Chain A
Amino acid sequence: MPPEAPSPAEEIPVREVPLMRPVEWVHAGMRDFARNTGPSVMHGLMVVLGGWIISLLAFAWWPVLPGAFSGFVLVGPILCTGLYELSRRRERGESAGFADVFAAWRRGTKPLVWLGLGLTFAGTAWVLVSALLVAVFVKAPITGAEAFVRHVVFSEGSNLYLVWVMAGGFGASLVFAATVVSAPLLLDRDTDLGTAVWASIRAVGANPVAMGVWATIIMVATAFSMATAMLGFIVTIPVIGHATWHAYRDTVDASALPVRE
């Protein structure tokens, strides 16, 4: 940040939106996707490839799985800035193409890297919590997928599964609230990670039901994509990425902050 830049506002104003507004974000995301099909699909393909590599590792060489997953989460926020940049340029009436995506990635500012590190930390914490829960509740060795289903999902005689799912839900709700609009905000405006995350949390607090609808849409799209051997991500990742830009524009008023180019 140049020294003459004004200090960022303590609290970025957030707006309330109608409950079903997320549906409009998806429509806007689809429009952006249709206008930038090539560069948008590239993002989806990268996620599919990453997902396949991680799945392959899970079956072939599972000890490196947490590392591979962490690396994927680390680059996630920066990867998605390409989609936000496309939407941002379209909104301004400018042309958008592959060159703009690469420029957005290269910009990959420090707060976005910190956001990636934060997500990696959250992912690692989740792996540790899961390992701990399984170690405490399950006496039998977990040797594969079938043993996992038998001892963890059906976990007869213990509440492991319920505790595990609820703990996951708690972690996911915090990560969702902290990141739902902070990544596009960091691409768009010159501010620090703390301010962006706080704005994101307050945007969720101002719109709990609408954000619940938005989280449900993301979850359903993710479940569908995974059920199609990840291939669904080719479309769902770009549409959700573009829609996230519109979610940010609708719920956060960052006009007081300096624009990042």
Chain B
Amino acid sequence: MNTVFGYTEAQIAEFGVTFGVGGFILFMLFVIGSIAKESKAGKFGTFILFFVLAFGILGFVAKNVIQWIMKI
């Protein structure tokens, strides 16, 4: 099997997805923050937006943990 720096293509793709999505999440935090600011969602609205986003991130992490534990 062809490898790059000792990693297979599938492994590199997996890193890409994990770190890519991680970076995307950080970008989303920034986007939601600026949307909340511009739309004048208020402090409470911003709280709700970030709470939902944090829940989504937690869900993403939980999914990966479950995947890792069950070795799927």
Q: Are A173 and B51 in contact (CB under 8 A)?
A: yes
With contacts A166-B52, A166-B55, A169-B52 taken as known, whether A161 is within 8 angstroms of B63 at the C-beta atoms is yes
Nearest to B72 among chain A residues (CB) is A154
A-B contact count (CB 8 A): 65
Complex contacts, A161 vs chain B, CB 8 Å: 59, 63
Q: Are A212 and B55 in contact (CB under 8 A)?
A: no
Q: Give bound CA distance, A170 to B45, whole Å.
A: 11
Q: Are B52 and A149 in contact (CB under 8 A)?
A: no
How distant is B3 from chain A, measured CB to nearest CB, in Å? Answer: 27
Instruction: Assess whether B50 is interfacial by the CB under 8 Å rule.
Output: yes
How distant is A239 from chain B, measured CB to nearest CB, in Å? Answer: 22
Which of B51, B56, B70 has the most C-beta atoms of chain A within 10 angstroms of its own C-beta?
A: B51
Chain A 122-160 residues near chain B, CB threshold 8 A: 149, 153-154
Complex contacts, B50 vs chain A, CB 8 Å: 208, 212
Instruction: Return the contact of B44 from the options A165, A166, A170, A177 (Cβ within 8 A).
Output: A177
Q: Give bound CA distance, A204 to B46, whole Å.
A: 11
Instruction: Return the contact of A166 from the options B46, B56, B72 (Cβ within 8 A).
Output: B56
Q: Are A173 and B48 in contact (CB under 8 A)?
A: yes
With contacts A149-B66, A153-B63 taken as known, whether A208 is within 8 angstroms of B54 at the C-beta atoms is no
Interface residues contributed by chain B, number (CB under 8 Å): 20
How distant is A213 from chain B, measured CB to nearest CB, in Å? Answer: 11
Instruction: Assess whether A54 is interfacial by the CB under 8 Å rule.
Output: no
Q: Give bound CA distance, A206 to B63, whole Å.
A: 33
Chain B 17-59 residues near chain A, CB threshold 8 A: 42-44, 46-48, 50-56, 58-59
With contacts A161-B59, A161-B63, A172-B55 taken as known, whether A149 is within 8 angstroms of B70 at the C-beta atoms is yes
With contacts A149-B66, A161-B63, A166-B56 taken as known, whether A205 is within 8 angstroms of B51 at the C-beta atoms is no
Q: Give bound CA distance, A38 to B54, whole Å.
A: 36
Instruction: Assess whether A56 is interfacial by the CB under 8 Å rule.
Output: no
Interface residues of chain B, those whose CB is within 8 Å of chain A, are 42-44, 46-48, 50-56, 58-59, 63, 66-67, 70, 72
A153-B66, A169-B51, A208-B43 given; name 11 further pairs at CB < 8 Å.
A153-B63, A166-B59, A169-B54, A170-B51, A173-B52, A177-B47, A205-B42, A205-B47, A206-B43, A208-B46, A216-B54
